Amino acid sequence: MQYSISNWIYATEDLEKSFQRLAKYKYDAVELEGEPDKEKYKPKKVKKMLQRHGLKVSSIAGMYPWKEEIKRDLASPDKKIREQTIIYLFKCIDYAQLMGAKLIIVVPAAVSKTAPSLSKKEDWKNSVKAVQEVAKYAEKKDILLAIEPINRYETYLVNSVQDALDYAREVNSSHVKIMADTFHMNIEERDIPEAIRIAGNNLINVHIADSNR
């Protein structure tokens, strides 16, 4: 088990400052924002900083915005958007491998998009098919995909741990598991301990956050 912090919560903070804090409080690793094309995350530069502070990379947090300037949506009925998101995840997988991370967080539909494009059934089908393609690449690179359920006020397709389990089983890959986030669980799960028990060995990553994060 590794204890890490997602640098996403520090937004635009300089990585050096974030890593100094993690080292000070004896964390093992950092979960990096999944933006491999940004100058901020150039592998050589980031690796040097990690080595200075005795940290590893636990995971890559995939980013799935639904904005005018950028749309990443595995469930989109628009084939071009789905393909762009698949290519983005291929890059995240390559980046994870370079940085020594073992998993990437996958949200099955865009975040901040709260209703289906067509129908939930069709969007689910599009998303599963897209992740099956990503999973084949992940298997070759030996990187795990962690399906994250997000609460209904931020997205619509996979909201609960049970949803994530159903989704992962339909993708049907040895490298597709699930994760949980206590912030979202506080909204969606009637019984958090039971949800964790249901997840069982499929649970490979957990975000622990206050309800007022």
DSSP secondary structure string, 41-82? G-HHHHHHHHHHHT-EEEEEEE--BB-SS-B--TT-S-HHHH
**DSSP category for residue 143:** -
> Which of 207, 204, 159, 143 minimizes the C-alpha distance to 181?
207
Q: What is 4-35 written as a DSSP string?
A: EEEGGGGTT--HHHHHHHHHHTT--EEEEEE-
pLDDT computed for residue 212 by the predictor: 74
CA separation for the pair 104, 138 (Å, rounded) = 9
pLDDT computed for residue 48 by the predictor: 98
Tens digits of residue pLDDT in 117-126: 889 999 999 9
pLDDT computed for residue 1 by the predictor: 87
Burial class (CB in 10 A: 0-12, 13-18, 19+), 194: exposed
Cβ proximity of 155 and 110 under 8 Å = yes
pLDDT computed for residue 135 by the predictor: 99
Spans of the chain below 50 pLDDT:
none
pLDDT computed for residue 132 by the predictor: 99
Which residue type, as a one-letter code, is found at position 189? E
CA separation for the pair 115, 156 (Å, rounded) = 6
Domain boundaries, the chain: 4-207
pLDDT computed for residue 81 by the predictor: 98
pLDDT computed for residue 149 by the predictor: 99
Which residue type, as a one-letter code, is found at position 105? I
- Name the CATH superfamily for 4-207: Divalent-metal-dependent TIM barrel enzymes (3.20.20.150)
CA separation for the pair 131, 172 (Å, rounded) = 10
